[in-house]
Structure formats: C-alpha cells, structure tokens
C-alpha cells in the first residue's frame, strides 16, 4: 500500500497579500526546486506549530514585502521569551544575502 500523501491547497493572490508574496516567490524559483521548497516550508511551519500553534499563523499573517529577519525574530521572541532570551536584539541583522538582494532591488 502506498503511504505517500498528496497535499493540495489554493492560494488567492488577488485577495490575500500574503498569498501574492508566496506566489511571486514561487514564480521566481526554478520549477524543479518548487516542490522541495513547498515541502520544506510546510515542514518548517509544522515544526513551529509543534512548539506553539500560534507561531506559523502569526508569521503568515504578518508577512509583507518589507518583513525583515529582525521582524521575524521579534515575533518569535514574543512567543518564546524564555527560549529567545539569549538573542540580543541589537545584534540581529539580516543575512548578508538578503541585504545584498535588497540593495540590488533598490538601485
């Protein structure tokens, strides 16, 4: 018996801004990599869900084109204050690849 599972859902980029960001991101990724990203994103969301069921929903709802790594860390810090106590907000910066990408987009 085949125990593989197909997961399907629809995104509505015309109505939901987060769905538009997801669609735009997926469109920018080579087709052969999209399935891997979809699987990784689902798995990462479920990993967060197992820690706190609110986490993936908050990250999803607060995602915009301007969302920074620092924004994400602050959301996680609000959900997991004890676990995130070791992080110093003044030292949190975007990964260099994202900084370079943003500066390329601005020029």
pLDDT band for position 90 (50/70/90)?
Answer: very low
pLDDT digits (tens, 9 = 90+) for 23-43: 999 999 999 999 999 999 999
pLDDT at 89 over 60: no
Backbone phi, psi, residue 76, to 5° = -65, -35
pTM, 2 dp: 0.72
Q: Where are the domains of the chain?
A: 17-106
Distance from chain centroid for Cα 5: 23
- The 3-state secondary structure of 39-67 reads HHHHHHHHHHHHHCCCHHHHHHHCCCCCC
């Amino acid at each position: 018996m085949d125990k593989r599972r197909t997961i399907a859902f629809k995104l509505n980029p015309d109505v939901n801004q987060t769905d538009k960001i997801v669609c735009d991101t997926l469109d920018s990724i080579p087709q052969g990599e999209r399935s891997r990203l979809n699987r990784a994103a689902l798995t990462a969301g479920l990993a967060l869900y197992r820690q706190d069921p609110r986490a993936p929903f908050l990250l999803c709802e607060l995602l915009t084109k301007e969302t920074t790594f620092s924004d994400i860390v602050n959301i996680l810090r609000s959900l997991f204050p004890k676990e995130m106590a070791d992080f110093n907000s003044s030292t949190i910066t975007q990964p260099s690849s994202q900084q370079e990408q943003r500066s390329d987009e601005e020029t």
